[in-house]
Structure 1
C-alpha cells in the first residue's frame, strides 16, 4: 500500500472555524483550497460598482471576506502573514471540481445534518477515490453523515474535530464512522500529532465526543454549585483559574469569550441525546442562564455576559460583574479565601490539590463538592465515551487548557480521598475503580523506566500509555537521570551522549543559580558527553533575567557585584557558543530578554512553533546586557552584502531591540533576525521538542563538531551609524513618540551597535562589543528612571513609560 502524503487539502466552509483550520494547514506548509457558498444577492457596494452575481469577485465574496477577517484577527491564526499565500479561495459551484486534486477534504459547514449530507453528495461527484474526507462537526453523530454514500467514501470518512482557535488549542478528536478503515484512523492519529502539533484522541461516536462532554459537564456542574452555595462570579473565577492550573479566564470569563449561546447549544444537545446519562438534569439550564439567553447577554460578542465593560461617572473604564441573585451588573468585588493563602508557596499545581480539598472555609467546601462531582462523572464515562481514562485527561488538557486532567487531579487528591469526597456527596463509586483498588493499584497513573503507565479498566492493569516513544518527558526521567542540580536547574543525562539542562526557577527566570547550573552542565558535557540541550517543559522557556537581583544591586549601589553579575551572564552565553561540544537551545512560549539572549548564542535552535521570542529590556529601562546587543550588531555585520545600504541593515537590527519586538511565533522570529534560516528548526508539536533537540545535538556531534574560533571580524560602522541613530532619536523625541528616558536608552544602544564613536568602519572583536554593552547596561541600571521601571515591572508585571 502506497504511503499516504498530504500535499493539498480542501476546506469546505470558511467561517471562523474553517478559515482557522485552513490557516493552520498553511502554517505547516500545506497548500489549501478554501471553498464556500456563492452569495444570493449583491451588497450595496457591489451594486454601486455595477457588479453582477456572475462576477467572480462577487461569487467568491463570502470566502474572501471570511479569510481576510481571520487573517486580521488577534491572536493571529497564522504563524506568518506570508504563509497566507498557501491558501487559494473559490466557491462551491465554480471550483468544486478542484477537490479531485486534493489529498484530504475537511467539511466545516453549518451544524445541520441535512446541509452536511447535501455537501457530501456534491463532493462525492468530484472526489478521487481514496481521498480522505472528514467532518469537523462538534456534535452530530458521524454515522448519520455518511449514510447513502459509496463504500470508498465511508471507508475514508470520519470526524476530525478541531477546537477553536485551531492554531492554539491542541485537541484533535478523531471519531470513526461505522465503516471507517483502521488505516485511516491510524494515519490521522499520527498526522495530528506529528504534523499538526496536536494531541490526537480517538473518541467514540457519542454526543459531544470527549472534550465537550466532560468540559460542558464541568461548567454546567459549576453553574448549579454556584447557586447552591450562594457564590459570586468573582469567587468562582478566582477558584477555577491559575490556582488549579486552568486558564486565567477561569469559568465565567471563558464562557463570555466562547459565547453563552455556543455553550447552551452543546448542553442542550447532550441533554436531548444522552437519555441514560445519570447527571442528565445538570445539563438543564439554571434560571440565571435562561434569563441571560432571553436578554441576549451572550458574552463578548454582544458586549455583555457575566462581565460587562462600562465607563463610570468619573469617565474611567471599568469591568462590571453580573450579580446572579439580582441579575443586575455591579462593581467588581475582590474574592479572597484563607485556603488559597495556604497554597501561595506551593509552586507545583499538582501539589496544591490536597491542600485545597482540605480547606476549612467556603473555598475548601467548593473544591470538595466540585471535584467529587467531576470524579463521579468521568468514572462513569468509561467505557461509554472511551475505553481509556487517559483520553479523557488528554482531551481536557488539550481542548480546555487544564494543566491536569480529572483522573490526574483525582490521583493528586488521592484515590481513596476522592472516593471519600464522592460518598460525602451521596455519589456512588464505579465498579472498575473499586476493582482497581482491590487489585492493589493505588493510583491511576504510574511511571516506570521513564515511561508513563496508566490503569486500563478493560485490561484490569496498568499499561504503557501509547505514543510516548517519540517524546522525552522530563518529569518522568528527572529522578533516575539527574547528574547535577541546584536551586535553579536540573541537569539530566538524556542518553546517547547528550545532556539536558532544565531551568527550575520561578517562571524560569535566569539568576546566578541558573547561570551556575548552565556552566556546570557545559563542564560536565565537555568532560564526559557529546552535546548539550538547554530545554525545559515549563509553561514558558524563560521570562528573562532575574530583574529583582539587578534592582537590589543597583539600589544598594553594589556596582562591582552588578558588573560581575552582568559579566557572568555574558560569559555564560559566550560559553554556549564557544564550548567544545554542540549546544542546542529549545525555546517555547515566552522566551524574553535573557531567555532570548541564550537562544541567540546556541549553535542551533530547535524552537516550538508557539515561541514568543524577543529582547524586551527597553521595557525595564536598560539594554540587553547578556550579549544580546552585541549579537544584533554581529548579525547585522554578517548581513552586510556588497551593494547593501549597510546603515539600513544595522537599523533593522537596532529596531528589533529598540522597539522591544517580540515574535508572535517562531516563524516570525526569522523576520526579526533572532532565528536563522537554514540553521534553526521549528517543531509544531512541543511534546517532541526535547527529543528533536537531542537528535540535532547528536547529529552535530556525529558530523564531527569542532569548537568555533572566537570572532574578531565584526564590522562596526562607528560615527557614520551613531550620527544616523542620534538624529533619529532626536526627531522621535521631538515628535513625542518617545520620552527623554527612552531617548537616553536608545542612544546607549546606538553607541554599542555602532561600535562606539570610531572615525571609520572598523573590524572589532565580540569582546570589544560585550564590554561596550556591559558599560551601557551598568550606566542605565543606575539611572533613577530605569530603577522606577524595574520596580514597576516587579510590582505590577507591566512596563512603565516615564
Structure 2
C-alpha cells in the first residue's frame, strides 16, 4: 500500500522523545508530543492557586521537556519556527488524538510493564493500519508486542534512533517475526530518504548492532589500557581522529553521553549474553564501578573521566582522573612515536598499517584493539546481522567512526589482520578463512561499473550493497578510472549521463589556485562536450573557504600584486561558472564558508545537505567577501526591491548578515539569510546530495538551458544609504560595541554595497561591484590589524577582536 506520513505521535517527552519530535518537525511533519500528567503540584503552582486539573499543570512535564530541548545546544531544530509544528499534550487527555496520526513512536521509560500497559491504551486509540514503533534499546522487541492484536503486531517494530536524532545518522530497524515485511521496507526507505538516516536492518538481539559492537569496543579498550598501564589522556589520544573517531575519543565521549548510559548497557550485555565468547569484556572494571557509585557520571554531574576546575588566577583548567588513585590530576600532553609517523599521512586508510606496526606502547595498543574488534565482529555474523556491511554502516552512523571494523580490516589487509589476531590469541569465525581460501582477499571491492560490493556469507560471493545505487560515491569513481583530470587540489570526474563533477581535495577543501584551476577546467571541459557540471565532494565539509595561509604570506610580504591576482582569478572563476553555456549545480554540505559560500552563490542551482553551515565569514579575519560574495548579496538584495519592503531596510538586513559573519545553523536557515534562494533545494540525507545535484543539473539541461547574461542594472543607493551605514557604525563604535578596526571594515563593506559614494541611486554592472569589492579587500590586506586577525585564525583557530 502507498503510505504517507503527515502526522506523527511521539509518546514520551524525555531527552530522546522531545528530540525525535523536533527532527520530525524539521522535515515538515506535524507532531503530537505526549507525556504523563503530574501527580502533584509544584510550590510555584500552589502559590498561583492552580490545581491538578489546570491544563497548564496537566501538560507541565511535556512542555518543560520540549522547552529544555529547544534551549539545548546544538539545536535539535533546523529553524526555531519549526517548533510550531509540535503540539503537546498528555496521555490522559490526548492519547485519543493518535487516531489522527500515521505513525506512533513510543519513547517512554525502559520498563516492559509500563510499555505494555501504554500499548494497551494505544491499541484502543490508534487507527488500524498505522505504524507503531518503539525506540527501546534495552528490551527485546518481540516481548513488547505480546498480547496485542494481529493488526498491531503486523505494523509494529523497533525504530532505534541515536541521540541526538538530528545529528547522529543511524536508525536501526528491528522487526519482530510478526512484522509485515512491507512495513520494514517502508521504514528503511523512509528513514533514508525523508529522515536523512543510514537505516540498518537489525536482528532482535541485545543492544542490536551499533551498541553491541560499539560498547564492546569501548569496554575492550578499558581492559587493554589496564594491561598496558595507559592513562585516560593517552587512550583518548590513541582513539581519536588518528583512527577516524571523534575528537572526543573514548573518555571525553563517555563524559558527554553519561557514564550511566555506558554502565547500564554494559551491565545489560554482561547479563543478557551468556553465549557470547567475549562476555567477560562487558564486566565493569573496578574504577568504572566506583565512578558509578560516586555518581561521577560525566558532564551531567560535573565530573567523570575529566572535570573542569578553577586554577591559578581563576583560569579554568581540565583535570583527568588517575584510575589508580581515583584522584584528579592536571591533564597531561601525550606523545607517541607511532603517532608521529602518521602526521604526514592525510588519508585515513593508509594510517592503519603504520599504527599496527608501531614498536612502542601505542603500536601494542593498536594490535590488541584491532585483534579483539576484528575477531568480535566476525563472530557476530549471523547472530546480529546476516551482512557484514551493516555492522560497518551502524558503527559509522551511530558512533561516528569514519571507517567501520571490516573497512578498517581491509585497509590493514585481511591476511595481515588474521596474523595479528593469531599473535594476540584471538580467534575469528571460520568463514573468514574460507573466504580467503576461495581467493577472496577483501571484504569489499568496487565493480567495473563503480558499484561497491561486499562479501556475502550466504552466496560466498561479492554482492552489491543495497541502496547505494542512489548515491554517487566519488571514491568508487576514482577506483574505476572515471577521473578525467586532476591536480593537487581538485579533480574532474565523469558522473555519467553527460554530467561532469568537480571535486575539491585540498586540506579542509580550502580554495587555492589549484582548486580555482579545477573549477575553470571543469567548466571548460563541460562546455566542450558535456551537458552539465556539478561541484561537490565526499569530504566532511564542502569548503572552509580561501587558503588564508597563502593570502597571509603574500600580504605579510606586501606582495599586493599577487593578492590582486588571487582575488581577480577567483572572481573570474565565479563569473565563468555563473555565465557558462551549461548549467552548474553545487552540492554543499557541512562547512560551506567564505569562498565555499561564494561558489554556491554563483551556481545556477544549489542542492544542499540539510546539515549545511553556510556563511560569508571574511569579516572575522578583517576582510570583506571579495570572490563575488559582496557583489552577489548586493545583487540579490536589489532584486527584492520590487517586493514592497523599504529598500534601505532590505539593504541593512543584508549588511548585518555579512558584517556579523553570520553562519546558518542549517540549510533551512541559509534560505532565511539569503545564501540560498527560491529554486534551491535541501536534501536531508547528505549521501544523496551529489546524486540529486546531478539529477537537477540534467533537468536544467533538458529544459533547454540558456546561458544567462551578466547584469548591468543592479540598483545601488550611493551616498544616501552610505550615510545611514556610516552613522550606524559610528554609533556602534562610540558605544564600545565594536573596535576601530571593526568600524573600518564595516565602512569598506558599506561602501561596496552602496556602490560607492554616488550622488544618487544608480544602476551599475556586476563588474563595477566586483572591482569595488576587490579594491576594498586589497586595502584591508595592507592593515596590520587584519594581518593579526588572520594570524590568530591560522595559529589558534580562534577569531581575534582587535
User: What is the TM-score of this pair, normalised by structure 2?
Assistant: 0.99
Q: State the Cα deviation string for residues 729-752 of structure 1 (Å, max 9, x = none).
A: 111111111111111111110111
Three-state SS of the structure 1 residue aligned to 2:113 is: helix
The aligned counterpart of 2:492 is 491
What is the alpha-carbon distance in structure 1 between the residues aligned to residue 654 and residue 686 of structure 2?
28
Q: Is the 8 A contact 1:39 1:61 kept in 2?
A: yes
Q: State the Cα deviation string for residues 238-261 of structure 1 (Å, max 9, x = none).
A: 111111111111000000001000
The aligned counterpart of 1:634 is 635
1:418-437 residue pairs with structure 2 within 5 A? 418-437=417-436
What is the alpha-carbon distance in structure 2 between the residues aligned to residue 246 and residue 625 of structure 1?
36
**1:315, CA displacement in angstroms?**
1.1
What is the alpha-carbon distance in structure 1 between the residues aligned to residue 458 and residue 325 of structure 2?
49
Three-state SS of the structure 2 residue aligned to 1:95 is: helix
The aligned counterpart of 1:738 is 738
What is the alpha-carbon distance in structure 2 between the residues aligned to residue 659 and residue 251 of structure 1?
36
**1:795, CA displacement in angstroms?**
1.2
Three-state SS of the structure 1 residue aligned to 2:171 is: strand
Q: Is the 8 A contact 1:12 1:18 kept in 2?
A: yes
The aligned counterpart of 2:616 is 615
What is the alpha-carbon distance in structure 1 between the residues aligned to residue 362 and residue 746 of structure 2?
49
Three-state SS of the structure 2 residue aligned to 1:350 is: coil
What is the alpha-carbon distance in structure 1 between the residues aligned to residue 319 and residue 728 of structure 2?
44
Three-state SS of the structure 2 residue aligned to 1:314 is: helix
**1:576, CA displacement in angstroms?**
1.4
Q: Is the 8 A contact 2:612 2:667 kept in 1?
A: yes
The aligned counterpart of 1:696 is 696
What is the alpha-carbon distance in structure 1 between the residues aligned to residue 419 and residue 478 of structure 2?
32
Q: State the Cα deviation string for residues 512-552 of structure 1 (Å, max 9, x = none).
A: 01001100100011110111100001010000000111111
Three-state SS of the structure 2 residue aligned to 1:58 is: helix
Q: Is the 8 A contact 2:527 2:581 kept in 1?
A: yes
Does residue 274 of the first structure (1) align with residue 249 of the second (2)?
no
The aligned counterpart of 2:73 is 74
What is the alpha-carbon distance in structure 2 between the residues aligned to residue 363 and residue 314 of structure 1?
36
The aligned counterpart of 1:789 is 789
**1:425, CA displacement in angstroms?**
1.3
The aligned counterpart of 1:366 is 365
Does residue 599 of the first structure (1) align with residue 600 of the second (2)?
yes
Does residue 193 of the first structure (1) align with residue 202 of the second (2)?
no
The aligned counterpart of 2:324 is 325
Does residue 546 of the first structure (1) align with residue 547 of the second (2)?
yes
The aligned counterpart of 1:35 is 34
The aligned counterpart of 1:555 is 556
Three-state SS of the structure 2 residue aligned to 1:619 is: helix
Q: Structure 1 stretches of 5 or more lacking a match?
A: none
Q: Is the 8 A contact 1:497 1:529 kept in 2?
A: yes
Q: State the Cα deviation string for residues 145-170 of structure 1 (Å, max 9, x = none).
A: 00000011111110000000000000
Give the 3 Å change call, closer, same or farther, for CA 643–158 of structure 1 in structure 2: closer
Q: State the Cα deviation string for residues 75-118 of structure 1 (Å, max 9, x = none).
A: 00010111111111111111111111111110000011010000
Q: Is the 8 A contact 1:139 1:209 kept in 2?
A: no
What is the aligned residue count? Answer: 800
Three-state SS of the structure 1 residue aligned to 2:312 is: coil
The aligned counterpart of 2:22 is 23
**1:313, CA displacement in angstroms?**
2.8
The aligned counterpart of 1:567 is 568
**1:644, CA displacement in angstroms?**
2.4
The aligned counterpart of 1:254 is 253
**1:641, CA displacement in angstroms?**
2.9
RMSD (Å), alpha carbons: 0.8
Larger CA deviation: 299-308 vs 319-328: 319-328
Give the 3 Å change call, closer, same or farther, for CA 529–565 of structure 1 in structure 2: same
The aligned counterpart of 2:292 is 293
**1:642, CA displacement in angstroms?**
5.9
Q: State the Cα deviation string for residues 277-336 of structure 1 (Å, max 9, x = none).
A: 111111111011011111110000000000101001321111111111111011110001
User: What is the TM-score of this pair, normalised by structure 1?
Assistant: 0.99
What is the alpha-carbon distance in structure 2 between the residues aligned to residue 761 and residue 73 of structure 1?
45
1:211-610 residue pairs with structure 2 within 5 A? 211-448=210-447, 449-479=449-479, 480-610=481-611
Larger CA deviation: 768-777 vs 480-489: 480-489
What is the alpha-carbon distance in structure 2 between the residues aligned to residue 263 and residue 562 of structure 1?
53
Three-state SS of the structure 1 residue aligned to 2:350 is: helix
Q: Is the 8 A contact 2:31 2:85 kept in 1?
A: yes
**1:429, CA displacement in angstroms?**
2.4
Three-state SS of the structure 2 residue aligned to 1:641 is: helix
Three-state SS of the structure 2 residue aligned to 1:746 is: helix
Q: Is the 8 A contact 2:157 2:179 kept in 1?
A: yes
**1:217, CA displacement in angstroms?**
0.5
What is the alpha-carbon distance in structure 2 between the residues aligned to residue 656 and residue 574 of structure 1?
23
Q: Is the 8 A contact 2:372 2:421 kept in 1?
A: yes
**1:47, CA displacement in angstroms?**
1.2
**1:643, CA displacement in angstroms?**
4.3
Q: Is the 8 A contact 2:376 2:428 kept in 1?
A: no
1:614-693 residue pairs with structure 2 within 5 A? 614-641=615-642, 643-677=644-678, 679-693=679-693
What is the alpha-carbon distance in structure 1 between the residues aligned to residue 384 and residue 710 of structure 2?
60
- Give runs of ≥4 in structure 1 deviating > 6 Å: none
Three-state SS of the structure 2 residue aligned to 1:794 is: helix
What is the alpha-carbon distance in structure 2 between the residues aligned to residue 171 and residue 151 of structure 1?
29
What is the alpha-carbon distance in structure 2 between the residues aligned to residue 306 and residue 649 of structure 1?
50
Q: Is the 8 A contact 1:793 1:800 kept in 2?
A: yes
Three-state SS of the structure 2 residue aligned to 1:501 is: strand
Q: State the Cα deviation string for residues 358-416 of structure 1 (Å, max 9, x = none).
A: 11111111111111111111111111111111110000000000000000001111111
